[in-house]
Copies of this chain bind each other. A is one copy, B any other.
Amino acid sequence: MKRKGNIDSSDRRVRYTKMMIRQSFLSLISERPISKISVTDICNQADLNRGTFYAYYKDPNDLYQQIKESLLEEIETPIESIIDTSSLYDLLLNVFTSIEQNKDLCTIVLSNNSDQEFISQILNLVRNKFIGLWHERVPMIPLKTLNYLFTFTANGSMGVLKEWLTNDVKDDTPEMMAALVEQMSSNAFLSYLTGDHNLTK
């Protein structure tokens, strides 16, 4: 179905259609893997003509990519501003609290079967910012080492976060988790703050 009109979806119908498609898809993704979700499924649930789907998306995976993209854009600015104005602990506390408040959605997005690529994209949102900050404070550490340090602490933190989300949350408060992760991350840096540890000698 060829679309001739403008792209900016100023039309109320377009917004409604896209909203219904996304809503239907998100409801389906919570009960089965993406590979088992057909265009037919999405359109049945959304009560839309199948041709309409193809007017906007190539296939369910294309839809999924676009949903992730808009999610990334949505969280980029707030996260960056937190980094600029707060401590690592405050950032972590903010993240753990937000996730606890949106546990249902986050469990799906960060679940065991979620794609690592998306998580990498989230981490890369803040990678350069962190490395820049660290480089100012400890310019003697090579950038390559800082990069691996970021990867290590970021992936470690994300792992703890997912485990916390999977297990029963109520025992460990966001405050305790933020403190723990902050401690482990800071420690990972520790020896680099004094000695001369070059990755490539």
Q: What is the interface of chain A, defined by CB distance below 8 A to chain B?
A: 34-35, 61, 112-117, 120, 145, 147-149, 151-160, 162-163, 171-172, 176, 180-181, 183-184, 187-191, 197, 199-201
Contacts and interface: CB of A to CB of B under 8 A. Distances in A.
A38 to B, nearest CB: 11
A199 B187 contact: no
A160 B171 contact: no
19 contacts: A35-B35, A112-B115, A112-B120, A114-B116, A148-B180, A151-B160, A152-B156, A152-B159, A152-B181, A154-B156, A155-B156, A155-B160, A172-B199, A176-B200, A183-B191, A187-B187, A187-B188, A187-B190, A187-B191
A160 to B, nearest CB: 5
Which of A120, A151, A163, A200 has most chain B Cβ within 10 Å? A151
A199 B184 contact: no
A70 B112 CA distance: 20
Given A116-B162, A152-B159, 9 more contacts: A112-B115, A112-B117, A113-B115, A148-B160, A148-B180, A151-B160, A152-B160, A153-B156, A176-B201
Contacts of A152: 156-157, 159-160, 181, 184
A159 to B, nearest CB: 3
A197 B183 contact: yes
